[in-house]
């Protein structure tokens, strides 16, 4: 039993393989084109930035919720026993900064 192919079959195989090779070369050409490489890099950077920004946003939301829960009760009323001391410290720090700034201006 011989597995002989006709010249037409061989020619058809050559044409098919040539077309496949041309298609593969076209795909490689697209992949290595500078615009494609830049576009892929931009997409990766954008994805990384989006992922990082999403994580940062979630972290800020968690932190904000944690701080809010310390200074505001569940019904939304401020917890004065915690708000007043923090406000007094903030006013004292701002006063010290203002005094320090005015002393520098006088000394200059």
pLDDT of residue 101: 86
Average model confidence (pLDDT) across the chain: 91
Task: Give dist(CA 84, CA 92) in Å, integer.
Answer: 12
pLDDT of residue 2: 58
Q: Evaluate whether 79 touches 72 at the Cβ level (below 8 Å).
A: yes
Task: Give dist(CA 72, CA 43) in Å, integer.
Answer: 42
Is the pLDDT at 88 greater than 90? The verdict is yes
* Model confidence band, residue 105 (pLDDT cutoffs 50, 70, 90): confident
Q: What is the DSSP string of 46-82?
A: HHHHHHHHHHHHHHHHHHHHHHHHHHB-TTS-B-HHH
Share of the chain above pLDDT 70, in %: 96
């Amino acid at each position: 039993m011989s597995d002989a192919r006709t010249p037409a079959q061989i020619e058809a195989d050559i044409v098919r393989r040539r077309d496949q090779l041309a298609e593969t070369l076209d795909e490689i050409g697209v992949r290595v084109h500078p615009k494609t490489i830049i576009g892929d890099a931009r997409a990766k950077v954008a994805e990384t930035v989006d992922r990082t920004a999403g994580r940062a946003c979630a972290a800020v939301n968690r932190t904000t919720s944690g701080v809010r829960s310390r200074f505001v009760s569940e019904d939304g009323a401020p917890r004065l026993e915690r708000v007043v001391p923090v406000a007094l410290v903030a006013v004292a720090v701002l006063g010290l900064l203002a005094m320090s700034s005015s002393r520098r201006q006088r000394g200059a």
